[in-house]
Copies of this chain bind each other. A is one copy, B any other.
Amino acid sequence: MRRPTLEAVAARAGVSRATASRVVNGQTTVAPQIRDAVERAIDELGYVPNSAARSLVTQRTDSIALVVSESPTRVFSEDPLFSTVIRSASVELEAVNKQVVLMLASSAKSHARLERYIAGGHVDGVMLISMHGADPLPTALSRLRVPVVSYGRPAVPVDIPFVDNDNVGGAEAAVRHLLSSGRRRIATIAGPLDMIAGQDRLTGYRNVLRDSDHRSIVAVGDFTRESGSAAMRQLLRDDPALDAVFVANDLMAVGALQALRQAGRRVPDDVAVVGFDDIDAAKYTEPPLTTMRHPVMEQTAALVRLLLGLFAGGPSDPVILPTELIVRESA
C-alpha cells in the first residue's frame, strides 16, 4: 500500500534505478525509447518522487520560509497589505517551483523555534517580512548561513538585501500635493517610529514643510485604524485650525476620517486628507481617499528575484520602487 518508489519504476521499465532517476530529473543522456518506457512506468504507477529522500542527498529542500514578524503588541496581519504580500509572494515562488513555508514570529518562543528551524536547514532561503525596528530577527537570521531577503528596509544596519518603496519620496509627494492645493496648516499622523516606514514617511513630511517654511504638527499612531482616530482627535485639539493632514497609512487614514466626521469637519472642504498604501478600502471611504500607491505585487516579485539571485550567487543590491499619487476626493 506504500507509494511506489523509483526502484519500482525502474523494475517496471526494465532499467536501473539510476536510469529512472535520469528520466525523472530530465537528464538528456537517455535514449528515447528507454525514456519512453520509464515515463510509461511512472504514469502507470503514479510515481511521485519522495522529497525527503531527495533533499537528504541534494541538500536542498526547494522550500522558502516566509517569515512574518509582528511585534508582540501589534498585529501586523490586520493590515490588508499582509494578505497581498503573502499572496503574491506565494504566486511568485510557486512559479519557480518553491514551496512556501509560512512562519509567524511574534513571541520570543516563536523566535527561538524559528531560528532552530531555519538553522536546521529546512528551507533554502528566507523572505522576511518584518516591520518593527526593534526586531532582533534580521540580525539573527543574517548570522545563519541561509540566504535572507527582506520586504522593507531592516531597521538595524544589517547585510540583508531588501525591497522597499520610496517612503520618503512618497511622503514628500503627498505633502507637496497638499501644499499645491493651497493648504497651509498641514499636520501628519505618523506611523510608529520604531518602524522604518513610520520614520521615513515622517521624514518626507518634514522635508517638504521645512523647505517651504511651514510648521509641522505631528501625532503618532501605530498604523491601526484605532490609533488613526485617536491621533486625529489629538491633532484637532492641538491645532483646531489645521486644514490638511498627511496620514502615514490608509488604515489610520480611515480612522482619521471617522474622527473628523465625528468632530464635524468636512473632508476635503475643511480638512484635506492624504493616506499612504492605496489599500482596497481607500476607494470606499467617505469621501474616497487620496493616497500614495506603491506596487505591492511588483515589490514581492522583485523580492523573489532577489532571493533567487542570492541562490545563484549573484549580486544583491537593494531595490527601491517609486510610489504614485492617486488623487480621489479627500484631497
The answer to whether A94 touches B110 (Cβ under 8 A) is: yes
CB contacts (< 8 Å) of A50 on chain B: these are: 56, 120-121
| Contact of A61 with B by CB under 8 A | yes
The answer to whether B113 touches A51 (Cβ under 8 A) is: no
Q: A51-B122, A55-B52 are in contact. Are A102 and B100 (CB under 8 A)?
A: yes
A99 vs B100: C-alpha distance when bound (angstroms): 10
The answer to whether A121 touches B3 (Cβ under 8 A) is: yes
Cβ 8 A contact of A99, one of B3, B101, B225 = B101
Q: Could you tell me the distance in whole angstroms from the C-beta of A42 to the nearest C-beta in chain B?
A: 12
Say which one of A75-83, A162-170, A213-221 lies at the interface with B: A75-83
Closest to A57 in B: B52
Extra inter-chain contacts (7) besides given A77-B83, A100-B101, CB under 8 Å: A48-B120, A51-B120, A77-B84, A80-B80, A94-B103, A94-B104, A225-B284
Q: Which A residues fall within an 8 A CB radius of B? A: 3, 46, 48-53, 55-56, 61, 63, 66, 75, 77-78, 80, 82-84, 86-87, 90-91, 94, 99-104, 106, 110, 113, 116-117, 119-122, 225, 254-255, 258, 261, 280-281, 283-284, 286
